[in-house]
Amino acid sequence: MNDDQLLRYSRHILLDELGIEGQARLLAAHAVIVGAGGLGSPAALYLASSGVGRITLIDDDVVDLTNLQRQILHDTQSVGRPKVISGRDRIAQINPDVAVDVINERVDQARLTTLARDATVVLDGSDNFTTRHAVNRACVAAGVPLVSGAALRFDAQISVFDVRNEASPCYECIFPADEPFPEQACATMGVLAPLVGIIGSMQAAEAIKLITGIGTSLVGRLQMLDARKMSWHTMHCARNPACKVCGQRH
């Protein structure tokens, strides 16, 4: 770690639980972020500012004016540009030492699994169940921890799925793909702007904890936030031994 890095990350290094060793792990880490929108924006910014050495942004969308209410990775000048390109440029302004790979496409299951195998941690900021299940399958196959978040209207949730822990459920254990969950989108239902900031920032915090091995992750706990009351509820979740995705792995 050079002098500039020691200065840039000094507030991390001052933390006894993290220190120089933990910061070195961040510098050597690779975080894959699926979705460069409301959740991916704060997650990417905080991981970059924290010194995660390599970040891969995955998104096939372009910046729209309606995104700017909450997607803080982008600005007015970004409208019409691919989100991953806008995100890469913004991260370079925050921390030019971070290597940013961009994938401006909707990746298939095989590609997701390949990307997950090269990752230290995966963060899912997508907005549909199909993608969430695909990301979960990739992380289970690769044996890589997944930090999953979601937000709509005034409600949000976050959890960590880490198949390295035999007690950890995967996303499929809690939200089976063959059960009918209604697809709802911000475009039709709306979302409170700071809500995605709260959850995306928490995703970054959980990712940093997983990379550095500090604290206790959200494995086995689904945290749900009602922003109207600003109240949290915790659902304790066990692994499903008969899970179609992670059952055979264990």
Banded model confidence at residue 9, pLDDT cuts 50, 70, 90:
very high
pLDDT tens digit string along 30-69?
999 999 999 999 999 999 999 999 999 999 999 999 999 9
Q: Provide the angle, in degrees to the nearest 10, between the axes of the packed helices 83-94 and 40-50.
A: 30
- Give the pLDDT of residue 189: 83
Mean pLDDT for the stretch of residues 72-84: 97
- Give the pLDDT of residue 188: 73
- Give the pLDDT of residue 182: 64
Mean pLDDT for the stretch of residues 169-175: 96
Q: What percent of the chain has pLDDT over 90?
A: 92
pLDDT mean across residues, the chain: 95
pLDDT tens digit string along 125-166?
998 999 999 999 999 999 999 999 999 999 999 999 999 999
Indicate if the pLDDT at residue 183 is higher than 70. no
d(Cα 54, Cα 39) in Å, to the nearest integer? Answer: 18
Indicate if the pLDDT at residue 187 is higher than 70. no
Q: Provide the angle, in degrees to the nearest 10, between the axes of the packed helices 40-50 and 193-212.
A: 40
- Give the pLDDT of residue 248: 79
- Give the pLDDT of residue 92: 97
Length reported for the chain: 250
- Give the pLDDT of residue 186: 64
Domains of the chain: 3-236 (3.40.50.720)
d(Cα 218, Cα 248) in Å, to the nearest integer? Answer: 23
Indicate if the pLDDT at residue 185 is higher than 70. no
- Give the pLDDT of residue 250: 60
- Give the pLDDT of residue 227: 97
| Residue 102 contacts residue 87 (beta carbons within 8 Å) | yes
Both structure tokens of 230: 């600003």
- Mapped to the 3 state alphabet, what secondary structure does the chain carry? CCHHHHHHCHHHHCCCCCHHHHHHHHHCCEEEEECCCCCHHHHHHHHHHHCCCEEEEECCCECCHHHHHCCCCCCHHHCCCEHHHHHHHHHHHHCCCCEEEEECCCCCHHHHHHHHHCCCEEEECCCCHHHHHHHHHHHHHHCCCEEEEEEEECEEEEEEECCCCCCCCCHHHHCCCCCCCCCCCHHHHCECHHHHHHHHHHHHHHHHHHHHCCCCCCECEEEEEECCCCEEEEEECCCCCCCCCCCCCC
Q: What is the torsional sign of CA 238, 241, 242, 247? A: positive
Mean pLDDT for the stretch of residues 12-18: 97
